[in-house]
A and B are shown apart, each in its own frame.
Chain A
Amino acid sequence: MNEERKTILEMLAEGKINTEEAERLLSALSKETETGSDVTKIKSGYKYLRVVVEPGPESENSERVNIRVPLKLIRAGLKLASFIPKDAQVKVNEALHEKGIDTDFSKIKPEDLEDLLGQLNDLTVDVEGKEKIKVFCE
């Protein structure tokens, strides 16, 4: 029995909610679980992370970038990053900070990556009409 279900039943036992409310909450919880399993199915179907940069309508530059990175490679890279000694990680973070990137990659776990990819639905960034950056999974 999961924690949420247990809490609902405890609330019912304590008389904080009535049977109808408990039933409604439990059905909502089961729907949420089903949706969660659908997301997992979608996630497992992804093989690549794509980054596409195209010139915008106001762009004078015609540079196009098309990058396809296997998700397995990203996951393996994240795991490898966790094996980097701490003193080296500090140096890497300092170098990233100098470049304006305030992210500690050693703290990103594979589960976080899965969540991030699950939420990444055809993200498009328009850079002042000059460039269009698309990030998506396929």
Chain B
Amino acid sequence: MIPLLLRIRIRRKSHRGVSLWLPLFLFWLIALPFLIALLPLVLIAALILWPSGKGKPILCAYLMIFRLIGCLSGLKIDIRSVDNTIYINLI
């Protein structure tokens, strides 16, 4: 499932810090049509580069982007020290 929310929390000593909940589903609403609109261009590029052997990797890499986006959900990075905190969570 694609991540729908992004939680970011950054705190530094002597700084107030940032804590955000970003609605990624709104971003996907914009990005997904753009990626789909890119498909004909990718197909043309793949056809042109097919004889050189680079066509297949381009096509496969394009399809893998969708798979990667779908696998991002659940990624969590949490780094804490006395002075700093970096927290990123894709929900």
Contacts and interface: CB of A to CB of B under 8 A. Distances in A.
A48 B71 CA distance: 11
A62 interface: yes
B18 interface: no
Given A68-B74, A85-B54, A76 B68 contact: yes
A126 B41 CA distance: 51
Interface residues of B, number: 20
- Of all A-B residue pairs in the complex, the 8 with the closest CB atoms, nearest first, are A72-B71, A68-B76, A73-B71, A66-B78, A63-B81, A83-B57, A70-B74, A80-B64
15 contacts: A47-B74, A48-B74, A63-B80, A63-B81, A66-B76, A67-B77, A68-B74, A68-B75, A70-B75, A72-B71, A76-B64, A76-B68, A76-B71, A83-B57, A83-B60
Interface string A44-72: 00011000000000000111111111101
Contacts of A61: 81
A5 interface: no
Contacts of A73: 68, 71-72, 75
A79 interface: yes
B26 interface: no
Contacts, number: 57
* Contact residues on A (Cβ < 8 Å of other chain), bracket: 20 to 34
Contact of B79 (A65, A75, A80, A83): A65
B16 to A, nearest CB: 21
B67 A76 contact: yes
A67 B90 CA distance: 12
